[in-house]
Amino acid sequence: MMMGKYFFSETDIKSPWDQVLAAFWLRYPNPYSTHVLTEDVVFREVTPDNQLLSRRLLTKTNRLPRWAERVFPGNLSRSVYIIEDSVVDLRNRSLTTLTWNVNHAKLMRVVERCVFVGEQDRPVWTRITREAWISSGVFGLSRPIQEFGWARFRSNQVKAMKGLEHALSNLQKASAVCPGDSAEKHKNIDSASKTQKPQQYI
């Protein structure tokens, strides 16, 4: 996809795909992702073939390492704006997301693609395949910046998984107290739609 560092991982979660899908939308805020400050839906549409397309804007903190603070200006924004495009395919029981940072792209660009698929032969399991491409356009410093970005991304993915599991746990507790609520929430998850189309989708 682009030059730079590449990240790949596969994880199996012992939860049905519909529960993982619901937890995905409810995973913020959580105690493991305090660096995520805001999330806003920019666009949402249900297609004629019953796919849910969404675009969200997320704001995250951008703490620089000490060595970078000596190199880059002190007024550099500490917030990163992230675009997240997603496609929910109910027929194939899959959720595909593509995210990338809007600002600080020359310093470091991180593009991430995730696929959440319900396993056919194991209905209570969901497989998450995650890929990321980290690149930098800073002359003379691109390699250490990419190394730093790859290490931070790997660390953040551990927190992201814990955050998703936290949301799953909350959903399961709520289902135990009020049976049927989670199914109703999933039934209505794609009810919101708008007419404006985004510029890019997966």
**Residue ranges per structural domain of the chain:** 5-64+75-172
Q: How confident is the model at residue 79 (pLDDT cuts 50, 70, 90)?
A: confident
pLDDT in tens, 31-42: 999 989 999 999
pLDDT of residue 175: 84
Torsion of CA 100, 103, 105, 108, to 10 degrees: -80
CA distances from 12 to 70, 154, 202 (A): 41, 17, 23
Q: Average pLDDT in the 144-166 region?
A: 94
Please indicate whether residue 31 or residue 61 has the higher confidence score (pLDDT): 31
Q: How confident is the model at residue 201 (pLDDT cuts 50, 70, 90)?
A: very low
Please choose, from the candidates 39, 62, 88, 50, the residue with its C-alpha nearest in 3D space to the C-alpha of residue 145. Answer: 62
pLDDT above 70 as % of the chain: 80
Is CATH 3.40.109.10 correct for 5-64+75-172? no
- Please check the confidence at residue 162 and state whether its pLDDT lies above 60: yes
Q: How confident is the model at residue 151 (pLDDT cuts 50, 70, 90)?
A: very high
pLDDT in tens, 181-192: 544 545 444 444
